[in-house]
Amino acid sequence: MVDRLVDALNTPSELVQSAVADCLPPLVQSMSDEVEYLVDKLFSTLTTGAKYASRRGAAYGLAGVIKGRGLVALKEYELIEKLKEAAEDKSSFQSRQGAAFAFETLSATLGKVFEPYILETIPLLLTLFGDSNADVREATQDAARVIMSRISGHCVKLMLPTLLGGLEEKQWRTKKGSIELLGSMAFCAPRQLSLSLPTIIPQLTGVINDSHAQVKSAANTSLKRFGEVLSNPEIKAIQNTLMKALADPAAKTGNALTALLKTSFEHYLDAPSLALVMPIIDRGLRNRSSDTKKRSVQIVGNMCVSCAGAISSADV
């Protein structure tokens, strides 16, 4: 039965492959010596398979087997070490892509119990984001999106220092990878997103005018991604103006302050919205122009009134 299911993993359909991954756990629990052979077979297909569908299916198969055997299987079969070697294999893009596939499916299948290993894979993902092969980069982006959508707030806190430290690196590829992985946090659960955005946004605005074109482009893309998940209607309506101010603060801060001053805040300002607005207001308050400072103070007053009104309405 397991052999038939493993053969079905070659089907070029994510729905079929995912269904197989769901079926494997209870079956492999009753297997013994055959499991190691199965893991080796799937890993070989994952890293050397000639077809995309086969490599993708092998990633689902590995995730299903590990879920059935428990996390101890990762150490028992040295799977994390093998995936690290595959991710660093410069001679084969299939190996690097396969490693990204596996990180994605393991996170999706195992959920939060896989978090300790996610922290180990962060340096690998940073490297793979800057891979020379477009297919590997795409697989890494997909893996980051899935990982970020499932991690806990605790894992976010542990991960942030490494990613923020990457922004200080002189190597532009590492810096770009850190920015893209930070941008993937837009797919975090709302609570995790609210906790992390006040830290991430100021850091991204600090590299948005980097001298390297690809770093600058990655920072802009990441900021736009965060803009897409805003829930406050008023801030979302002037999102483009705010983004321009973050990208070019010297020339566009005045326009953003004017837009904010004209905005009537009728909805609660959540943490993601404030994280987007506060760097602009902070710059306005530090400006030498008294008019700019005045507008910034007025905006703060308007937002405070809005927050107080929202709280009063909620209490009623």
Chain center to CA of 38: 31
Task: State the average pLDDT for the chain.
Answer: 87
> Quick one: pLDDT at residue 107?
94
pLDDT tens track for 134-178 = 999 999 999 998 998 888 888 888 888 888 888 888 888 888 888
Q: How far apart are CA 142 and CA 15, in angstroms?
A: 16
Q: How many CB atoms lie within 10 A of CB 310?
A: 16
- Domain at 2-231: CATH architecture: Alpha Horseshoe (1.25)
**For residues 283 and 315, which has the higher predicted lDDT (pLDDT)?**
283
- pLDDT over threshold 80, residue 312: no
pLDDT tens track for 229-255 = 777 888 888 988 988 888 788 888 999
Q: How many CB atoms lie within 10 A of CB 233?
A: 11
Q: Where are the domains of the chain?
A: 2-231, 232-316
- pLDDT over threshold 60, residue 84: yes
Burial 113-127 (b: 16+ CB within 10 A, else e): ebbebbeebbebbbb
H-type helices in 208-289, by residue range? 213-227, 233-237, 239-247, 249-262, 271-286
Q: How far apart are CA 17 and CA 15, in angstroms?
A: 6
Torsion-angle region of residue 70: left (phi > 0), alpha (psi -120 to 50) or beta? left
- pLDDT over threshold 50, residue 185: yes
Mean pLDDT of 101-117: 93
Cα angle at 41 between 35 and 46, to 5 degrees?
Answer: 125
> Quick one: pLDDT at residue 8?
95
Which tokens belong to 316?
């009623």
Q: Max alpha carbon distance in the chain (Å)?
A: 76
Give Cβ neighbours of residue 296 (< 8 Å, ≥ 6 apart): 257, 281, 284, 285, 287
Do 309 and 271 contact (CB within 8 A), yes or no?
Answer: no
Mean pLDDT of 187-199: 73
